[in-house]
Amino acid sequence: MINTASFYNALTSRGIDFFTGVPDSLLKDICAYISDNAPEDRHIIAANEGASVGLAVGNYLASGRPALVYMQNSGFGNTVNPLLSIADDDVYSVPMLLLIGWRGEPGKKDEPQHVKQGRVSEDLLKTMEIPYLVLDESTNIEATLDEALKVAISEKKPFALLVRKNAFEKYKLLKDTTSSFALDREGAVKLIIDQLQDDDIVVSTTGKTSREVFEYREELGQTHEKDFLTVGAMGHTSSIALGIAIEKKDRNVFCFDGDGSVIMHMGSLAINGMMKDVNNFKHIIINNGAHDSVGGQPTVGFDIDFSKIAEGCGYTLVASASEIDDIKEKIASMAAHKGRALLEIKVNKGARENLGRPTTTPKENKTAFKTFLK
């Protein structure tokens, strides 16, 4: 396997000392090492992958050195615009290294939302005319980086490193943070579901949140037709929920969101808040200050005020809570409120090791959910 320290040192010795991206489960070990060892202003966990490319472009213009941009292949779509319209060698011609976790690689079992992404990852890079190499546990890092940087710098263009599962050695994040809220995310999910009415509609965000929603319904002996599990498309959960709320104005639509998801496409808050005829949209942000589903890297979730942002965007009821009784009271208030309501619930990060995954397929979930909406 690739040693994280060796990889990091090989990058910095070649002049790459600016790192940015969105964490990925396949890259969590190298991301953790970068977090622990890069100076604070040389490592930016960005709002989304496209913003990371923008940061890399800006840093190159000022320093003359390529940056490293890391991401999961499912987030590569967020980079298409800035890569092709800014960094491309037919436009501003900006070199950078793209470190891409290869979820859903053909021949390897993965979740449904990653299968197509994995199958077309190489084709996307080829179509965008981005040269690439594949990294696995046997890769000679020194030679690979020399080849990648030779092309990136001489041709002044992005170069991708497509990373297979288990390529990097394990590394545990040392700069970890802890909190002492009353609940973790799964506890919050259970508490919210316990307060809902039989005809309420749930749209839950990608990652462990949707897995916890599914498992709690199983624990309660309930079916799953009330919940749309947004297994992919991070950052778009509230838009899906809003689209449903517009059509089903006589039923409350609860969006179970996460801090990383909201931050990724925060512009959606403005659109949600401005929909003045939609009085049944109930937006809950479960904030644990981390990208918890992909390694626990921090977000800025605890450093910003979601309530003030939502209020400024036009939500008509906003609140924040962390204590159990207060959460229950505020869920009841938002359920009764005729307007766009947002509740931030602050929780501790972390999940149990034996957390399962949905046993129904996305298409089965969609069919049952559409029946419930009728």
The CATH number assigned to the domain with range 185-373 reads: 3.40.50.970
Q: In what order do the strands lie in the sheet with 132-135?
A: 43-45, 19-21, 68-72, 96-101, 158-163, 132-135
Instruction: Decide the pairing of beta strands 297-298 and 317-321.
Output: unpaired
Structure tokens at 286: 């479960």
| Phi, psi of 72, deg, nearest 5 | -90, 150
- Please give the model's pTM, rounded to 2 decimal places: 0.94
Q: Rounded mean pLDDT of the chain?
A: 96
State whether residue 180 is helix, strand or coil.
Answer: coil
Alpha-carbon distances of 339 from 62, 118, 163, 193, 273, rounded to whole Å: 46, 40, 45, 20, 9
Fold of 4-163: Rossmann fold (3.40.50)
Closest CA to 289 of 163, 135, 181: 181
Task: Summarize pLDDT for 250-309 with one digit per residue, the tens.
Answer: 999 999 999 999 999 999 999 999 999 999 999 999 999 999 888 888 999 999 999 999
Task: Summarize pLDDT for 85-121 with one digit per residue, the tens.
Answer: 999 999 999 999 999 999 999 999 998 889 999 999 9
Task: Summarize pLDDT for 22-41 with one digit per residue, the tens.
Answer: 999 999 999 999 999 999 99
Region(s) of the chain under CATH 3.40.50.970: 4-163, 185-373
- pLDDT, residue 148, reads 98
